[in-house]
Amino acid sequence: MALAFNFLPSNGFGNALRSQSGRLIKAPSSPQATTSSSHRLLVSAGIATFSFAGLRAKKIRVPKGATSDVSDPDSSSKNEYAYKMVKIACIVTLLPFLFCLGNFSFDPAISDFSLEYGPHLAHPALRTTSVLQAIMVFAAVMWREKYRNDPIDRLFAWLFVPEAIAHILLHWFSHYHAFANFAFAYAFSAGIALPGFLSLLCYVPKEKKLPWLYLALYMTTQIPIVAGLTNMVGPAKMRLNYANINTAWITTPFFYGILKRWKDVPKSPVFLATLTISYQVAMGIMGPITGASDLKLYDPSCIFQHGVVDIGFGIAYAASILCGVFRPNVPRPAWD
């Protein structure tokens, strides 16, 4: 893990950056001059969160009621509806990208990505927090695979994996590459939506029209939002603004199902996710993204805020996977 901190940015944000006119300019000195202290602070926060979340290698006792339907031979057939709807959702979440294919081919000389946002994302501290988040997710998924065999909880756990992978790609590779640009938009759209979509199916299983209404709403809203997230020739700060707004917007419908089944829902993942989202949106409103501050995106305070959000989501994702969709001893949903 120390290697990740000492690794210098290698995706085009080194000693020279390209300005909007195409000429080379000297890279901002602030990120490198202040890397060490920011690193130590974020590493300490990462270690503390690992200890807090309990993701170190140890045996965890699982309540018997948490796997009440494991031995049920009909559990697979009972969950066919959920499997089908999640497959449809996976396809639908990719469709908005078909409406902005032109954004993946552009002239880097007219992009302002390298001025602030590129050095921000390529900061070694944020590369490290992206890896820490992925480790939390994969450790929780492996725990789920080893200690529980509830099919819905297992599916729920694996739906966090695409976002964890996309989050690493958007930090470790320049968005001048199409796959990294795609990963950025995917992480803030489909990556957030997929686990919530399954939880919505579970919390309100009798409302068969609601998932379809959500998918229709998703397509309507995400076509312009994904186009904004992948637009590399527009203002880079606008991409960040889209990301912050979409995080709050895309998770709102799931709170309907959570409130409907509040007594049956694990509380800690809800509180952790709500706190992290609130912090992210608040920092986006008060920070340099909206122009409310004169700070540059590569300023240590901005790096720190981003790192806190990454670690916060890592804990929330891991807690969601460990707790599952329902509390122990709560009957699993039955779809007609």
In whole angstroms, give the CA distance from residue 202 to residue 50: 29
| Start-to-end Cα distance in the chain | 48
Q: Rounded mean pLDDT of 298-326?
A: 93
Q: Which residue has the tokens 């809203």?
A: 221
- pTM above threshold 0.75: yes
Distance separating alpha carbons of residues 336 and 208, to the nearest angstrom: 10
Non-local CB neighbours of 201 within 8 Å, separated by 6+ positions: 81, 82, 85, 86, 211, 333, 335
Q: Write the single-letter amino acid at 320.
A: S
For position 292, what pLDDT does the model report?
58
pLDDT tier, 53 (very low <50, low <70, confident <90, very high otherwise) = very low
Beta bridge partners of residue 16, listed in sequence order: 26
Query: What percentage of residues in the chain have a pLDDT greater than 70?
Result: 75
At 328, give phi and psi (nearest 5°).
-60, 150
Q: Give tens-digit pLDDT for 248-299.
A: 788 888 888 898 899 999 999 999 999 998 898 888 777 666 665 677 888 8
- List the alpha helices (DSSP H) in the chain: 2-6, 30-33, 35-53, 75-78, 80-92, 117-121, 124-147, 151-158, 161-172, 178-187, 190-203, 209-229, 236-251, 254-260, 267-286, 300-323
Which domains can be identified in the chain, with CATH numbers? 85-102+112-327+332-336 (1.20.1070)
Which pLDDT band holds residue 41 (cuts at 50, 70, 90)? very low
Does 60 score more than 60 pLDDT? Answer: no
